[in-house]
């Protein structure tokens, strides 16, 4: 849990600091005095703060954003006393509207550019991994929930809404966000399944991916002092049957383990081409297997691990199904520029999907809920991918024309540029109050929703 919290907090602190730095640099460039520069909100108190020159720098305790307080500006602090005095040349209100617009958009600009840089570097360094639909000769591993939706073991998803995709992950995404029909190949024939509310809800509930290829396997690792180790299972063994039931694929193997958990049953193993019979005591929920202290590391068998007997599987077939698209420097930069906008579009479509699934509220996560989705082990690739996506999303959120957000301030600057007349201070104050009310309402909903999900699931 500490590692998950650490990854999330580091990402948020980095994003908020750079966002506010965008405002800070633009303000200082145009000669506006910055009174406060805070990462996170310091409601009532701050974790740390220090005054350097004219600016108080600090870290607040509420991880829902940050702020810079500019002299001569009506913002969320609602400090209107300074507005009663004579305007000073270092104040925000004395600057031309176009300069104020640039200052307000500085943070958004930084977030977008940061997302572009991270995506470009990730694509150039790592490319993109995806599951090749054309290589899925064994089709999908299907559980009882998916079976009730009309899927069958061995089905191969090929498209959504009549559009064909070669990436299984793309099919998963399109089926969730805008799918009305799912096209699958079943025993050489293509059929279409309707995607209804229940179907979409189940896709959303499968956090590790709804569509999972079934694959043949061998034992890659046997963990010490586990049922597999005690029974004599070795690396490179092929487990071909459990209690006489054949297990050609890993999902068959996992299902049988669930059926026999807590029991001692015969395993038929192929070792160096020779049959071997072993007796294995199957643990319960990973308690007897060091590959998963709580049974989460492969309880469903989707990641090639199993916590009930303590093994990790490997599959030459699965490796052949996973494709990788490499990018040159030029291609990576070009694609990296587009990626933030794709991420924003996906998020916006995702919000629309919440109204088309059961209990959509449960899928909304704030800082507390987001912790659960972070890797339990530090993963830099996941960290930077997450940071790039959130950076793009923060840019979009801040661009919304809501008073109190950057977009709201930008609207007033644009209005002045177009009409040549600045809104009155009374209008700005009332707009700011509306913005504060909206933002506080969202904060209450987000944190309250996280707490409800945490308690009731």
- CA dihedral for 275, 277, 282, 287, sign (positive or negative): negative
pLDDT 10s digits, 208-265: 789 999 988 999 999 999 999 999 999 999 999 999 999 989 988 988 998 998 899 9
Residue 455: what pLDDT?
A: 74
Q: Could you tell me the domains of the chain?
A: 2-122+389-456 (no CATH), 133-205 (2.30.42.10), 218-315 (2.30.42.10)
More confident residue, 50 or 62: 50
- Nearest Cα to 75, choosing from 97, 64, 91? 91
pLDDT 10s digits, 6-58: 999 899 999 999 999 999 999 999 999 999 999 988 888 899 999 999 999 99
Alpha carbon distances (Å) from 339 to 97, 358, 393: 31, 30, 12
* Maximum average pLDDT range among 263-277, 301-315, 356-370: 263-277
Q: How confident is the model at residue 373 (pLDDT cuts 50, 70, 90)?
A: confident
């Amino acid at each position: 849990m500490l590692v998950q919290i650490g990854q999330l907090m580091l990402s948020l602190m980095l994003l908020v600091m750079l966002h506010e730095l965008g405002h800070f640099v633009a303000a200082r460039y145009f000669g506006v005095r910055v009174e406060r520069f805070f990462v996170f909100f310091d409601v009532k108190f701050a974790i740390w703060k220090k005054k350097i020159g004219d600016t108080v720098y600090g870290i607040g305790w509420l991880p829902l954003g940050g702020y810079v307080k500019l002299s001569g500006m009506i913002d969320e602090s609602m400090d209107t006393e300074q507005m009663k005095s004579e305007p000073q040349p270092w104040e925000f209100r004395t600057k031309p509207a176009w300069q104020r617009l640039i200052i307000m958009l500085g943070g958004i600009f930084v977030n977008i550019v940061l997302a572009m840089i991270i995506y470009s570097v990730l694509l150039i360094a790592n490319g993109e991994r995806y599951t090749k639909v054309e290589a899925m000769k064994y089709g999908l591993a299907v559980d009882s929930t998916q079976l009730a939706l009309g899927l069958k073991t061995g089905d191969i998803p090929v498209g959504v809404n009549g559009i064909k995709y070669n990436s299984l992950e793309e099919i998963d995404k399109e089926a969730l966000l805008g799918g009305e029909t799912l096209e699958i190949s079943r025993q050489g024939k293509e059929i279409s399944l309707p995607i209804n509310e229940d179907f979409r809800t189940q896709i959303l509930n499968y956090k590790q991916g709804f569509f999972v290829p079934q694959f043949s396997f061998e034992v890659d690792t046997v963990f010490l002092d586990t049922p597999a180790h005690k029974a004599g299972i070795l690396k490179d063994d092929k487990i071909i049957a459990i209690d006489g039931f054949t297990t050609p694929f890993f999902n068959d193997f996992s299902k049988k383990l669930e059926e026999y958990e807590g029991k001692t049953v015969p395993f038929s193993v192929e070792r160096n081409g020779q049959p071997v019979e072993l007796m294995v005591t199957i643990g319960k929920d990973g308690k007897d297997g060091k590959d998963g202290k709580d049974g989460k590391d492969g309880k469903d068998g989707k990641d090639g691990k199993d916590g009930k007997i303590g093994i990790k599987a490997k599959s030459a077939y699965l490796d052949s199904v996973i494709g990788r698209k490499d990018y040159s420097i030029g291609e990576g930069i070009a694609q990296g520029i587009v990626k933030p906008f794709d991420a924003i579009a996906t998020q916006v479509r995702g919000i629309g999907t919440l109204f088309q699934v059961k209990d959509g509220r449960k899928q909304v996560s704030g800082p507390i809920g987001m912790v659960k989705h972070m890797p339990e082990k530090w993963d830099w690739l996941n960290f930077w991918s997450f940071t790039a996506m959130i950076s793009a999303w923060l840019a979009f959120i801040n661009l919304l024309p809501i008073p109190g957000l950057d977009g709201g301030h930008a609207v007033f600057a644009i209005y002045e540029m177009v009409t040549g007349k600045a809104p009155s201070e009374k209008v700005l104050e009332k707009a700011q109050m509306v913005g504060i009310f909206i933002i506080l309402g969202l904060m209450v909903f987000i944190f309250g929703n996280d707490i409800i999900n945490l308690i009731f699931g």
